[in-house]
Chains A and B, each alone.
Chain A
Amino acid sequence: MKLSQWRPITERLLVLSFMDLKLKYQSGVLGFFWSFFKPLIQFFAYYVIFGIMLKVGKSVYYPFELFLGILTWAWFSESTILGMSSFINKKPIITQIAMNRLYPPLAAFFSPSMNYLLNMLVFFSAYLIFFQDDLFHQTAYMFLQGFAVFLQAILTMSIVIISMNILLAYLNARFRDIQAIWELVIMYGIFVTPIFYNLPISPEYQTLYFVLNPLALPLLLLKSVFFPVLLPHLNYWGYGLHYCMIAFLLILSLKLHQRFRLTIADFI
């Protein structure tokens, strides 16, 4: 694909994502700052319950681990909820303009990603202030290794989110109760993802756990970049199955797109 052919694609995604973001925050009194306050409020609520009352995490890193987990979960939940309604909410565009049907679910991924990026800047700043010694004691090799793991975790989670957005957008256009079901998944999924605690799963179930919850392993890897986190003892099969599950999600979503892209306007 030539560079000039990428321009309309990137511009469409950019404008669709930016307008989604603008619409989301322009009506509220707090506007764009709400994107910072919402995870912060969630963090305080969960920290009081899990950190102070239930004493789940005792290390000095726990509040930051929890904050990073909440930010990442917010990225996942906001993206997929927006992605799920992306066809329904853009009905006139879908039914009247002949454009690639992947634009709406992709744009629904990019606007919360912009939020996540900005929130991560806040997280990095706080991390630098409180744990600068940890960072400066690292060798160049350790730093590069950490950066590579960070990119791998973000990329894996992005693939999971994009796949889910496409799947949910098509399913929601066909079955309108998918929305209620997915909201339940989001509500309870936070408790089966390593956000409040890291690895309470016994070793014999770890492979099954990381296959069924494709967000769990990249989230643990992301945490391990910043904090001393116990990583799972997965063998090659375990890792292989986990990444096969993610590849399966992506292929399934693209197959669904291939199958229904021309008839989706009739369903909506």
Chain B
Amino acid sequence: MIQIKHVTKTFKRYNEQHRTLKSVVINLFRPKQQVVSSGELCVVNDLTINIGKGEVFCITGPNGAGKSTLAKLIAGTTSPTSGHIKHSGHVIPFLELGVAFNIELTGIDNLYLNGVLLGLSIKYLTQQKNEIFEFAGIQEFMHTPLKYYSTGMQLRLAFSIARHAKGDIYIFDEILSVGDAEFQKKCVQFFKDLKQNKKTIIIISHDLYFIKEHATHLLVLYPGGKYRLMDDQKEIEAIQYIT
């Protein structure tokens, strides 16, 4: 379903950033060693893995290990420096909830804005709008600008819209713990439904209990691009802590 072959992603580290034409022109006349980057930061290094259909593939590791970068690479929002990623099926990335939200627009406007960007049609969104606001528990705020929503309300609305996106591969970047306890139950139920429908799920998580309970495969990423892949259920269940 997803083939990741020898994928490396590096970012340049600059002493100073040249974000203007002016600085580029000025630095044409400076010695190169004074202006060029102070090296490269390797976030993902020669990663080769296969993710099969229906797998719950968890990715974990300390901050800065490259979990979100790997999720973005799989989602296709950024490209690898070398290597290639192939996938068959439609990818739905839940990298960050409500990315297209604009706080000046009303809830219903944001529903259309976010919905169409996730691939939902205007007709479908019009049919489902009441159900979406009901699921988020904010029916009475449909026509209220988002700036008057609490953070929890915004996240609940974003999740309610996103769960309607139809795909074969779902990528969650630490977003299953949205909202209050009641809403979290709904999120977990959504995840279980996907699992039952044999969807391929990639989850970035630090929650060891969640990983042990659901992961069929576990990829532990370490800073500098090192990684460890576990595909034995017993091995995953035996983990005591993640460093």
Contact = CB atoms under 8 A, between A and B. Distances in A.
A262 B75 CA distance: 12
B32 interface: no
A265 B93 CA distance: 15
Contacts of A15: 112-113, 116, 122
A97 B100 contact: yes
Interface string B80-107: 0000000000010101100110101100
Interface string A164-189: 00000000001111100100000000
Interface stretch (A21-29, A55-63, A195-203, A234-242): A21-29
B116 to A, nearest CB: 5
A223 to B, nearest CB: 35
A177 B22 CA distance: 8
B67 to A, nearest CB: 15
A7 B116 CA distance: 10
A128 interface: no
B186 interface: no
B: interface residue count bin: 20 to 34
Interface string A125-137: 0000000000000
B78 A266 contact: yes
Interface on chain A toward B: helix, strand, loop, or mixed SS?
helix
A96 interface: yes
B20 A177 contact: yes
Interface string A91-131: 01111111100000000000000000000000000000000
A181 B21 contact: yes
Contacts of B116: 8, 11-12, 15-16
A8 B119 contact: yes
Interface in A137-195: 174-178, 181
A248 B120 CA distance: 36
16 contacts: A12-B116, A15-B113, A15-B122, A16-B113, A19-B109, A26-B104, A95-B78, A96-B93, A96-B95, A97-B117, A174-B19, A176-B19, A176-B20, A177-B20, A177-B22, A266-B78
Interface of A: 7-8, 11-12, 14-16, 19, 22-23, 26-27, 90, 92-99, 174-178, 181, 262-263, 265-266
- The 8 closest A-B CB pairs, nearest first, are A262-B79, A98-B76, A92-B99, A177-B20, A96-B99, A175-B21, A15-B116, A96-B95
